[in-house]
Amino acid sequence: MLTDIEIAQKAEMKKIREIAADMGLTEDEVESYGTYMGKFSDDYLKKIENRPFGKLILVTAINPTPAGEGKTTVTIGLGDALRRAGKKTMIALREPSLGPCFGVKGGAAGGGYSQVVPMEKLNLHFTGDFHAITSANNLLAAALDNHLQQGNTLGIDPKRVVLKRCLDMNDRALRNIVIGMGKRMDGVVREDHFIITVATEVMAILCLAEDINDLSERLSRIIVAYTYQGKPVTAADLKVVGAMTVLLKDAIRPNLIQTLEHTPAIVHGGPFANIAHGCNSVRATKTALRSADYVVTEAGFGADLGAEKFLDIKCRMAGLRPDAAVLVATVRALKYNGGIPKDQLSDENLEALEKGICNLGKHIENLKKYGLPLVVTLNRFVSDTDAEIEYVRNYCAERGVKLTVSEVWAKGGEGGAELAEEVLRLLEEEKSDYHPIYDTALPLEEKIRVIATEIYGAKDVEYTVEARKALADLTALGFGEMPVCMAKTQYSLSDDPKLLGRPEGFTVSIREVYVSAGAGFVVAIAGSIMTMPGLPKVPAAERIGIDENGVTVGLF
């Protein structure tokens, strides 16, 4: 059996200008980054500004498990299936981060015969967007420390610097560091921190900005520190917003690649969903919606994180109205939620399935709260039995939702025909009544409570003393009506990764709250979630290399 990377390497790709031409673009409307990747030109983005939107389909999933769910694989396969059905379709995805690629997760370009390509370039440096974001963030950090060194006329309190440096790699040793050591001219000694690039506010801003002017304005509002008197100090105060914008002027333009079946795919931006808001860029989604009749997009991790933030933050800010949702699950993941160890998931076990399927049930309930027409799809594995699939089918039917079986990993778009048919039926027969789960006029504490109780199923929310003070301070500073971006573990509906299935009676613990003023949301960190991940004992990097023929191996 071929690995994902071997399948991708054997693919016959079209040149990116051919993909663009199939979409109706001229040669000048896409800038090539090599033969098979490109960026939309500013002229094209301006030309389509007033075009009506196509239909927007969100693909989300149950909570991720080591058993695998295949959300991106289903997203790509559904796009290919809709195109096979004669529909003008595009896919909109996030860019992979190098950290997980060399850490635990591996690549993030789909799998099997449902992938976007070129897979290697996408998973590595791609078009350089993440490097530009890293550079812009670290330029701001350098300007801040230079200001402290050069006299600190703004009166910044070195103990209240909130901007963190970043790196697009998992490196736990950089979470907490001391900088400025050495001679007097080597800087002011202070504690500092690193976060992964996909957790930065610059990443969130790039993904929420409507255009280059909006990007610049948002960057200017980034709070980097507070003065001794408690006054916010922004990027605008440090006078480097123009330089940051220059670094990001190409990165803000969406990237165009293709699936194995040559369906156009926009892959742009990549905030983590367990830390940040977990969606590809607003510009990417709107470009796709103005360029196709049907757009399939995804939101990171489970529906309690990615979908919640897609629906409560991204769609609200960007004025998007999703038309339908696809909820991805696997029999294996549901059995894992029922307490079965990974090495026994291939065995039929209806008792474990019955115990763990409550996780799927909670996500069905949640998506219905947003008013979205919904279909559940099982990403099928060879070990799935007819009895297990029938059990899931009946469970979904009892909740008024149809189950489809997806075989896109093995069959590409052909394996997504049943799912595509049901999605088209939903779009034809059921009207979306999308609405966010909370009103932004609610106090911050109440918005957090709504997410915790309504979406996670928590009994209550508790706060550290520092978190409560931050809520009061942010409200006093005028940030109280912003939406909330919850940072918590992806592995559980709760903030405890060990609580699988559908936990009840738990309390969500908020240990830290801060504002991303440029992005436009307040971040609440629950539990022990890390903004700079670490590597596992045996990282994926150990199996990645180049063979004697110069071919990359082990990437996924």
Examine residue 322 and say whether the peptide bond preceding it is cis (omega within 30 degrees of 0): no
Rounded Cα–Cα distance for residues 108 and 216 (Å): 29
Instruction: Count CB neighbours of 387 within 10 A.
Output: 10
Catalytic-role residue among 40, 381, 506, 521:
381
310 catalytic? Reply is: no
Contact partners, residue 430, CB within 8 Å, separation at least 6 = 324, 373
* Two tokens, residue 473: 């301070």
Phi and psi at residue 63, in whole multiples of 5°? -60, 135
CB 248 within 8 A of CB 132: yes
CA distances from 310 to 235, 315, 412 (A): 27, 6, 26
Catalytic-role residue among 65, 73, 263, 404:
73
Rounded Cα–Cα distance for residues 185 and 10 (Å): 54
CB 258 within 8 A of CB 14: yes
Catalytic-role residue among 15, 47, 88, 105:
105
Rounded Cα–Cα distance for residues 293 and 218 (Å): 31
CB 103 within 8 A of CB 536: yes
Contact partners, residue 400, CB within 8 Å, separation at least 6 = none
CB 154 within 8 A of CB 233: yes
Catalytic-role residue among 40, 102, 126, 301:
301
94 catalytic? Reply is: yes
Catalytic-role residue among 40, 409, 506, 556:
409
Catalytic-role residue among 108, 199, 204, 273:
273
Q: What is the 3-state secondary structure (H, E, C) of 101-149?
A: HHCCCCCCCEECCEEEECHHHHHCCCCCHHHHHHHHHHHHHHHHHHHHH
381 catalytic? Reply is: yes
Catalytic-role residue among 39, 55, 71, 316:
71
- Sequence-distant contacts of 183-190: CB under 8 A, at least 24 apart: 185/149, 187/145, 187/148, 187/149, 188/145, 188/148, 188/149, 188/158, 190/148, 190/158, 190/159, 190/161
Rounded Cα–Cα distance for residues 143 and 311 (Å): 35
Rounded Cα–Cα distance for residues 401 and 374 (Å): 7
Contact partners, residue 314, CB within 8 Å, separation at least 6 = 207, 208, 277, 279, 282, 285, 320
Rounded Cα–Cα distance for residues 376 and 151 (Å): 59
Rounded Cα–Cα distance for residues 119 and 6 (Å): 10
301 catalytic? Reply is: yes
Phi and psi at residue 166, in whole multiples of 5°? -140, 160
Counting DSSP H helices and E strands in the chain, the numbers are: 22, 25
Parallel, antiparallel or unpaired: strands 30-32 and 55-61: unpaired
Catalytic-role residue among 39, 83, 87, 94:
94
470 catalytic? Reply is: no
552 catalytic? Reply is: no
Supply the residues annotated as catalytic.
71, 73, 94, 105, 273, 301, 381, 409
